[in-house]
A = this chain, B = another copy of it.
Amino acid sequence: MAKQKRELNVAMVGCGFMGRAHSNAFRQVGCFFNVPYVLRLKVVCARDRSAVQEFAAQWGWQEAQTDWQSVIARKDIDVVDICAPNHLHAPIAVAAADAGKMVLCEKPLAMNFVEAERMAEAARNVPNLVWYNYRRVPAVALAKRLVEQGKIGQPYHYRATYPQSWGADPQRADAWRFRKPQAGSGAMGDLLSHSLDLALLLNGPIVELASILQTFVPEREVDDAVLLLARFANGSIGTFEATRFATGCRNRNYFEIHGSQGAVRFNLEELNRLDVFDCNDATEIQGAHNVLVTGPAHPYVDHFWPPGHIVGYEHTFVATLADFLESLAADTSFHPNFDDGAEVQKLLDAVENSANSRSWTSPVTVAEAGRI
């Protein structure tokens, strides 16, 4: 017998692409996971009244509002979810945390590390989450498990690329994502942030880096591409590349780790697959195992469909939310939270510093930064 579930009223700020992905997760998490909460899609809030009304009707939100401050002030809201443009993350998150709400925020967490630290500080006493959803791709979670089990051994190389191509289309005018005041950065905050979050998860801290930030279209305010070399605390070395100008690639978020005992390779365009190389296989049949990560024995997927039935992009949001709610019930610490989001932001600042100074740069804390 299912025991009584607690209701949580959710308010979401933003109703774009991410608003759809979040809404889907709020609607479906209880179907796929036996979470101890019932989520109510209470209010969706965005500036454009007719757009937000239409969105609310389509996704089943009870109310559509246009003023986020008043929404946050409401007593009947338990959770504030943020998927507005980047520059609004901090004000909304801080206000929501100050109002005692749980806060869920899209990535990148902030416009820079100082802002991110401020947000993390504000959210110290409320449950919080940053939507680095790719941690919950089943194949990525499997990679994490293999790393933890020592199946990769001592890591030597980390290689991440996140090539997209839509930026190369001169016709493309994706509003705020090309404007510095709202987006903060281009490929760096949008794509590299994902790669860095996964690197921190899978391979630990980066101690120094050298980078290039590149804008191919002169009139553009933000970077079109970013490259970097990195040294990790564990002794391995890595390369990162994120770009909106990689013709032929839609969303090829890829990483590969080579260690003394094995290797893993992942590509988001084939998100149900993980290539796993195991040095302990018999020599004559050594070769990357092309694993279809749909179970059995794989993370998350027993909650979705039987083995062999693939999952899609949105399942990563559903699984993230499920884990968050489990942590909430168990009163344990959830990751990635605002502190994790701030760690990524610290690296992004270092990337920018390195590119501007044309020199090797170490990520520094705000306190350290203050001393410099």
A residues neighboring B (CB under 8 Å): 2, 17, 20-21, 23-24, 27-28, 30-31, 34, 54, 57-60, 142, 145-146, 156-157, 159, 161, 163-166, 168, 210-212, 214, 216, 225, 227-229, 231, 235, 237-239, 241, 243, 245-252, 258-263, 265, 268-272, 275-279, 281, 283-292, 294, 296-298, 304-315, 358-360
Contact = CB atoms under 8 A, between A and B. Distances in A.
Contacts of A28: 24, 27-28
Given A247-B261, A269-B308, A284-B297, 15 more contacts: A24-B28, A31-B59, A34-B58, A146-B285, A156-B168, A156-B247, A212-B229, A227-B238, A246-B258, A247-B258, A250-B294, A250-B307, A269-B292, A287-B291, A312-B312
Contact of A292 (B34, B287, B290, B298): B287
Contacts of A168: 156, 260
A262 B248 contact: yes
Contacts of A311: 312-313
B283 A276 contact: no
Contacts of A34: 58
Contact of A60 (B2, B31, B262): B31
Contacts of A238: 227
Nearest to A310: B312
B227 A246 contact: no
- Each complex incorporates copies of this chain amounting to 4
B296 A283 contact: yes
Contacts of A142: 284
A306 B248 contact: no
Contacts of A156: 168, 216, 225, 243, 245-247
A313 B271 CA distance: 13
Given A212-B237, A287-B292, A359-B359, A248 B263 contact: yes
Contacts of A258: 163, 165, 243, 245-249
A21 to B, nearest CB: 7
Contact of A310 (B164, B284, B313): B313
28 contacts: A17-B305, A17-B306, A27-B27, A145-B284, A156-B168, A156-B247, A157-B241, A168-B260, A210-B229, A212-B237, A216-B235, A227-B239, A247-B260, A248-B265, A249-B308, A250-B292, A250-B294, A250-B308, A251-B307, A269-B310, A271-B310, A283-B296, A284-B291, A285-B291, A305-B312, A309-B312, A309-B313, A359-B360
Contact of A228 (B161, B229, B360): B229
Contacts of A275: 290
Nearest to A265: B248
Contact of A237 (B2, B227, B247, B288): B227
Given A229-B229, A262-B248, A23 B31 contact: yes
Contact of A247 (B30, B231, B263): B263
Given A247-B258, A250-B294, A278 B285 contact: yes
Contacts of A289: 281, 285-290
A284 B296 CA distance: 7
Q: Which 4 A-B pairs have the closest CB atoms?
A: A250-B308, A251-B308, A248-B277, A312-B312
Residue of A156, A291, A294, A305 ringed by the most chain B CB atoms within 10 A = A156
